[in-house]
């Protein structure tokens, strides 16, 4: 039987069976595993309880297009989609966010700068810059939230950056379409130019053939004219007739000159009107551009109203609004979406009208230039007509002189007639070739003008970049938004880990220190004539002294390991207070329940370990652990010690010390009450022994 029992250590002479020891060995790990698993299960699903702040200092811009990138980013964080993992982002101003970060009310603060929207729009300009976000986390409050907040904020920033990149690529593809359209117009003009030059070549060939025939006919005419020279004396009558015709020719040339003058004046007037039409067309094009911009702003505003109505509809139920009112908000949101779609369509049509007006203005200017060319040609033709009239007068005078010698012209006139017929036929071919050459030259000139204009537009629409602009644009387009993350109070050692390790060491040291100090040692002196308070203090002092020694030993070990701390003196004082408090708590449980009290002391350690919130924020833990975190002695010590090691002022240091003192004082009062009760219970026995 003695092999199945071991002496107890509570001074009562009782023994514990191996069954009890086995039960403790099984129950303790089972309870520990259950508590720790319960405390850690599902905490990743409660990330939306972690308080963080977003400060939106972004200035909304209206020109060249409305943009509120900061508001969009803040909305994606504070009102995420239902399937998105997120923290509890709260909109705050700069002062509130800074105060909340220092006090631990916010674990991290994301700041959106004033020029964020301007930077997002800069991807489509010659001076692109990145939108810069600033994330500041408090390392003294948690060791994991800086990484969580950075990951989530970076994901939101990347999403916004992708939208910006998509918009930029849309502009690039629109530019490619415009360049392709200009290339098509240029190709069409080049084709017309080729056709015109082909006609010019054909007309030139016909002109060459006609010129050769004219030369042959003129040779025959020259031969006949030589024979005619001997008989010119008999041409008086014919010369008189020629003189009359010359005078008629001079009169007709004068009338032609008057008509050409009127043609030139009309062409000038037409060119002026066409220039005015071109200016009016450009004015209309500019107005169409403004209308297109206004339609775009109207579309964006309608989109914003639709988004706001959607947000109101989503939240009106939670604010206690009537179901009919929420349904009305949904219908208003649908109408706003319809209005926004229509406004976008109007904006597209207005932009097409503006481009058509611009092309109309270009055509009107080209037409005005052609009219001025017609006027110049008419003036030149007028000057040629004047020369014809002057030549006709001279011809009339010569014909009068010629009339005196034209007598023997019959044979020569026959030869001259034959040569003149040949010359007439050749002249007709020459006229036909000249007409074809003139038409081809006109077509070639028109095609060349259109080709020149198309090439100029193509050159204007083709972007060019310097090496610096290419590098900047590559960087900005690939990463429009950058996130700079800093963690405050991370210069020293890992505060939460040191706090946990030192706290557990002190707790286990306290357990070892009170194992042999059961209440039986106190009751040996219960019959002595001293007060229970003094008797309790006499028995408590050795345990407190041992606790002080343990605390000093731990501090010496940290000093030898050269652990850096932000506040080493405060950390040392807090550690000594915690060592004493842990010992008093262990002593109270030991005196109350003996070996079961020691087991309760160990289970109490497990509960406090589950209530720690330095790795994962305590807000993610199941109830009532967040409340216990600020009330239990070990968790309070770890929270305060991690701050003293890392730096920062999360929570109240005076409050942490107060909690430890309250636990120590409470454990002392419990020990005093136990001594008094046990002395009263043992008093009859002591009297009987004395009698």
Per residue in 102-118, pLDDT tens? 777 887 889 999 988 88
Residue spans of the domains in the chain: they are 24-174+473-488, 236-407, 492-690
SS (H, E, C) 329-340: HHHHHHHHHHHH
Contact 135, 485 (CB under 8 A): yes
User: Quick check: helix, strand or coil at residue 512?
Assistant: helix
Mean pLDDT, all residues of the chain: 74
Stretch (H or E) spanning 254: helix 236-316
**From CA 226, how far away is CA 238, in angstroms rounded?**
18
pLDDT confidence tier of residue 95, bands split at 50, 70 and 90? very high
Q: Looking at residue 689, what is its pLDDT? A: 43
Instruction: Read off the pLDDT of residues 178-215 as tens digits, 9 standing for 90 and up.
Output: 555 666 666 676 676 667 667 766 766 666 666 667 56
**pLDDT in the model for residue 385:** 63
Other beta carbons within 10 Å of 72: 19
Q: What is the 3-state secondary structure (H, E, C) of 620-640?
A: HCCCCHHHHHCCCHHHHHHHH
Least confident residue range of 182-196, 293-307, 457-471 = 457-471
Residue with the larger pLDDT of the pair 562 and 215:
562
Whether the CB-CB separation of 313 and 326 falls below 8 Å is answered with: yes
**358-379 burial code (b ≥16 CB/10 A, e <16):** bebbbebbbbbebbbebbeebb
Stretch among 72-81, 121-130, 173-182, 429-438 having the lowest mean pLDDT: 173-182
Locate tokens 């991690």: which residue? 642
Asked if CATH classification 1.10.287 holds for the domain at 236-407, the reply, yes or no, is: yes
Mean pLDDT across the stretch 637-663?
Answer: 85
Asked if 174 and 352 touch (Cβ cutoff 8 Å), the reply is no
Angle at 356 between CA 355 and CA 358, to 5 degrees: 65
- Tokens standing for residue 333: 């949101």
For domain 24-174+473-488, give the CATH superfamily.
abc type-2 transporter like domain (3.40.1710.10)
Asked if 135 and 153 touch (Cβ cutoff 8 Å), the reply is yes
d(CA 499, CA 638): 5
Q: Given this model, what pLDDT does residue 412 score?
A: 54
Tell me the DSSP string of 56-117.
E-PPPB-SSS-B-HHHHHHHHHHS--TTS---EEEE--HHHHHHHHHHTS-SEEEEE-TTHH
Instruction: Specify the length of the chain in residues.
Output: 691
């Amino acid at each position: 039987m003695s092999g199945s029992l071991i002496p107890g250590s509570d001074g009562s002479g009782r023994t514990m069976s191996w069954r009890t020891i086995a039960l403790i060995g099984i129950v303790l790990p089972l309870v520990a595993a259950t508590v720790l698993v319960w405390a850690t299960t599902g905490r990743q699903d409660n990330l939306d309880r972690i308080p963080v702040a977003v400060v939106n200092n972004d200035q909304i811009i209206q020109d060249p297009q409305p943009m509120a990138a900061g508001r969009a980013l803040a909305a994606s964080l504070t009102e995420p989609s239902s399937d998105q993992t997120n923290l509890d982002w709260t909109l705050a101003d700069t002062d509130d966010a800074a105060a909340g970060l220092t006090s631990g009310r916010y674990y991290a603060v994301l700041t959106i700068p004033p020029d964020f929207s301007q930077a997002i729009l800069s991807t489509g300009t010659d001076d692109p810059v990145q939108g810069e976000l600033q994330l500041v986390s408090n390392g003294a409050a948690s060791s994991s939230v800086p990484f969580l907040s950075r990951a989530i904020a970076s994901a939101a920033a990347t999403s916004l950056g992708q939208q910006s990149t998509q918009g930029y690529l849309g502009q690039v593809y629109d530019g490619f379409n415009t360049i392709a359209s200009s290339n098509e117009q240029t190709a069409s003009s080049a084709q017309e130019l080729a056709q015109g030059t082909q006609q010019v070549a054909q007309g030139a060939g016909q002109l060459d053939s006609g010129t050769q025939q004219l030369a042959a006919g003129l040779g025959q005419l020259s031969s006949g004219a030589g024979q005619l020279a001997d008989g010119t004396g008999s041409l008086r009558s014919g010369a008189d007739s020629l003189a009359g015709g010359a005078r008629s020719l001079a009169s007709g040339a004068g009338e032609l000159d008057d008509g050409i003058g009127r043609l030139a004046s009309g062409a000038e007037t037409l060119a002026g009107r066409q220039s005015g039409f071109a200016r009016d067309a450009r004015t209309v094009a500019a107005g169409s551009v403004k209308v297109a911009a206004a339609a775009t702003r109207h579309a964006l505003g309608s989109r914003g109203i639709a988004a706001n109505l959607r947000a109101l509809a989503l939240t009106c139920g939670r604010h206690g609004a009537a179901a009919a009112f929420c349904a009305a908000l949904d219908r208003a949101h649908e109408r706003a979406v319809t209005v926004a779609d229509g406004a976008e369509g109007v904006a597209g049509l207005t932009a097409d009208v503006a481009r058509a007006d611009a092309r109309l203005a270009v055509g009107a200017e080209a037409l005005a230039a052609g009219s001025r060319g017609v006027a110049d040609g008419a003036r030149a033709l007028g000057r040629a007509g004047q020369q014809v009239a002057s030549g006709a007068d001279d011809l009339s005078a010569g014909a009068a002189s010629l009339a005196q010698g034209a007598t023997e012209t019959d044979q020569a006139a026959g030869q001259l007639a034959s040569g003149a017929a040949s010359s007439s036929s050749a002249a007709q071919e020459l006229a036909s070739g000249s007409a074809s050459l003139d038409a081809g030259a006109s077509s070639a000139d028109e095609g060349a003008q259109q080709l020149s204009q198309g090439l100029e537009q193509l050159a204007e629409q083709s972007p060019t970049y310097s090496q610096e602009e290419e590098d900047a644009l590559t960087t900005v387009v690939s990463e429009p938004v950058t996130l700079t993350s800093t963690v405050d109070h991370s210069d020293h050692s890992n505060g939460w880990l040191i706090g946990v390790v030192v706290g557990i060491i002190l707790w286990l040291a306290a357990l070892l220190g009170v194992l042999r100090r059961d209440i039986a040692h106190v009751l040996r002196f219960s019959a002595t004539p001293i007060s229970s308070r003094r008797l309790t203090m006499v028995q408590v002092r050795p345990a407190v002294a041992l606790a002080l020694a343990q605390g000093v030993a731990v501090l010496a070990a940290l000093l030898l390991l050269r652990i850096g701390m932000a506040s080493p003196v405060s950390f040392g004082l807090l550690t000594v207070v915690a060592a004493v408090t842990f010992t008093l708590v262990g002593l109270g449980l030991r005196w109350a329940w003996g070996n079961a009290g020691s087991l309760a002391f160990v289970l109490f350690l497990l509960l406090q370990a589950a209530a720690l919130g330095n790795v994962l924020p305590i807000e993610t833990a199941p109830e009532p652990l967040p409340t216990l975190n600020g009330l239990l002695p070990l968790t309070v010590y770890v929270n305060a010690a991690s701050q003293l090691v890392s730096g920062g002022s999360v929570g109240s240091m005076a409050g942490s010390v107060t909690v430890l003192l309250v636990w120590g004082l409470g454990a002392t009062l419990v020990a005093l009450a136990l001594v008094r009760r046990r002395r009263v219970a043992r008093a009859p026995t002591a009297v009987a022994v004395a009698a």
